[in-house]
Chain A
Amino acid sequence: DIQMTQSPSSLSASVGDRVTITCRASQGITNNLHWYQQKPGKAPKRLIYAASSLQSGVPSRFSGSGSGTEFTLTISSLQPEDFATYYCLQHNSYPLTFGQGTKVEIK
């Protein structure tokens, strides 16, 4: 099974800060990596697919990069509505595996 190690598990940041979240795969997954945002009591929402493609309707302050085993999600200027938990997901092989999640909290 491919293990996805996501870091940090939580972070505190202020509105306007630049935030970077990392996911490392235990083996190469090319660009078969997606990012999701989840708010309390809600289903996850797709942000980034295929490592770096921004989902339509998602603000351009979100971006994704990486290939192979290391991937990043960057929020260029954190907004109040961005406080949530973020997950990466690999779909390179079954079982599909999520990262452990990163909770972004208000400083």
Chain B
Amino acid sequence: EVQLVESGGRLIQPGESLRLSCTASGFTVSSNYMSWVRQAPGKGLEWVSVIYSIGTTFYTDSVRGRFTISRDSSENTLFLQMNSLRAEDTAIYYCARSGSNWEFDIWGQGTMVTVSS
């Protein structure tokens, strides 16, 4: 079965760091374009970052320089390293695979990150 499972979300204090993981089954993470998308409580969807199969990365402005997307082929896992966390980073974080038409065809169930003192 093709699926994505996120983990790593928790309550964390402002200024601290956190790494999210997204483990894939049924396909190879490193052969696909993989993104992180977040959703603040009661709000809409916001794209965060993408990593191409060739390793190229892009970020939304609000996280560039603080977040780093990466992957581990041996674990078939996507990561999001989040540093200098802010209250406004509080959200459910989803990982998603881009399909053949660049749409997000597979989504994880999401992991909740709460940044609060």
Contacts and interface: CB of A to CB of B under 8 A. Distances in A.
Interface of A: 1, 32, 34, 36, 38, 43-46, 49-50, 53, 87, 89, 91, 94-101
Interface size class of B (residues with CB under 8 A): 20 to 34
Contact of B105 (A46, A53, A97): A46
B44 A98 contact: yes
* 3 closest cross-chain pairs (CB), A and B: A43-B107, A96-B47, A49-B103
Contact of B47 (A46, A97, A99, A101): A97
A46 B44 contact: no
A95 B103 contact: no
Interface of B: 35, 44-47, 50, 58-61, 94, 99, 101-105, 107-110
B104 A94 contact: no
A43 B47 contact: no
B104 A44 contact: yes
Contacts of B61: 1, 95
B89 to A, nearest CB: 16
Contacts of A38: 45
A68 B11 CA distance: 42
Contacts of A87: 44-45
A8 B107 CA distance: 26
Nearest to A38: B45
Nearest to A34: B103
A84 B102 CA distance: 23
B101 A49 contact: yes
B68 to A, nearest CB: 16
Contacts of B105: 46
